Amino acid sequence: MPNSPQPPAPGAPAPPDVTSSDAALRRFLHGLPGVDAVGLEARAASLGTRSVKAEAKAYAIDLAISMIDLTTLEGADTPGKVRALCAKGCHPDPTDRGTPQVAAVCVYPDMAATAREALAASGGAALRVASVATAFPAGRASLAVKLADTREAVAAGADEIDMVIDRGAFLAGRYLQVFEEIRAVKEACARPDGGAAHLKVIFETGELATYDNIRRASWLGMLAGADFIKTSTGKVAVNATLPNTLLMLEAVRDFHAGTGTRVGVKPAGGIRNTKDAMKYLVVVGETAGADWLSPDWFRFGASSLLNDLLMQRQKLRTGHYSGPDYVTVD
8 Å CB contact between 115 and 128: no
Buried (b) or exposed (e) across 35-74, using 16+ Cβ within 10 A? beeeebeebbeebbeeebeeeebeebbebbbbbbbbbbbe
Helix, strand, coil share (%) of the chain residues, nearest 5: 50, 10, 40
Among 159, 230, 254, 308, the active-site one is 230
Among 146, 186, 200, 266, the active-site one is 266
Among 93, 162, 227, 308, the active-site one is 162
What is the number of alpha carbons within 13 Å of residue 138 lying toward its C-beta?
3
Question: Is the link from the previous residue into 137 a cis peptide, with omega within 30 of 0?
Answer: yes
Task: Please confirm, yes or no, whether 230 is among the known catalytic residues.
Answer: yes
Distance CA 310, CA 319 (A): 13
Task: Please confirm, yes or no, whether 200 is among the known catalytic residues.
Answer: no
Find the angle CA(311)-CA(315)-CA(321) to the nearest 5 degrees.
70
Task: Please confirm, yes or no, whether 266 is among the known catalytic residues.
Answer: yes
Residue type, 176: L
Strands 198-202, 300-302: pairing kind? unpaired
Catalytic residue annotation: 162, 230, 266
